[in-house]
Structure 1
Amino acid sequence: MAPPRFDRHPWVPDSGRKKMWKLPKQYSHFAFGAIQAAVTCAVASAIASMQFVAEGTFISHWLRAYFFSWIAMLPVVVIVAPFIRWLANRITN
């Protein structure tokens, strides 16, 4: 009997596609920072762009604000994340 496969769901047929490329574990904090910055900037720029809904230009303003805020926040998040993790560990059990 063949060992079970854990790389895909049993009810999804194998399409023959290659597996998704992954970053090594040592870079997980960079991936975390990029994803966290992306989500935070998406929400914040959407809230800041709400005034453009009535004009019908929300999407263009939101995308521009999202792009510039993500570019600005990514280095901040990646640099500050280790300190935040250290601080969170210090103030919790």
Structure 2
Amino acid sequence: MKIPARYSNLLFGGMLSVIMVTIISGTVTFINQGYDADFFSRWFRGFATAWPIAFPSVLVVAPFVRRVVSRITV
């Protein structure tokens, strides 16, 4: 299945934010509360709280970052 190119920014933001929030929420949950029987439920709760903030943030910030990177690279 191919997704039309016009959705590439949305797909990029979705994928980047899911990966980023999964890694960070898991790491922070583990560091702050350790690993026990409730780890995955706490991790998911952290993910579910952070992702709705991260996804639109990536959509807004990514174009700016791309412009900055293109200006400072050759």
Q: TM-score when scaled to structure 1? A: 0.72
**Of 59, 66, 70, the match for 1:85:** 66
Q: Please provide the CA RMSD for this pair.
A: 1.1
Task: Pick which of 26-35 and 45-54 moved more.
Answer: 45-54
Name the counterpart of 1:4.
none
Q: Which has the larger radius of gyration?
A: 1
Instruction: Tell me how far 1:30 sits from its aligned partner.
Output: 1.0
Instruction: Tell me how far 1:52 sits from its aligned partner.
Output: 4.0
Give, in whole Å, the separation in 2 of the partners of 1:82 and 1:63: 28
Aligned-partner residue type, residue 68 of structure 2: L
Name the counterpart of 1:53.
35
Structure 1: stretches of 5+ with no match in the other structure = 1-19
Name the counterpart of 1:12.
none
Instruction: Tell me how far 1:45 sits from its aligned partner.
Output: 0.3
Moved over 6 A (4+): none
- Please identify which structure carries the higher helix content: 2
Structure 2: stretches of 5+ with no match in the other structure = none
Q: For 1:12-31, what aligned pairs fall within 5 Å after superposition? A: 20=1, 22-31=2-11
Higher relative contact order (CA 8 A, sep 6+): 2
The percentage of counterpart residues that share the same residue type is 33
Give, in whole Å, the separation in 1 of the partners of 2:34 and 2:39: 5
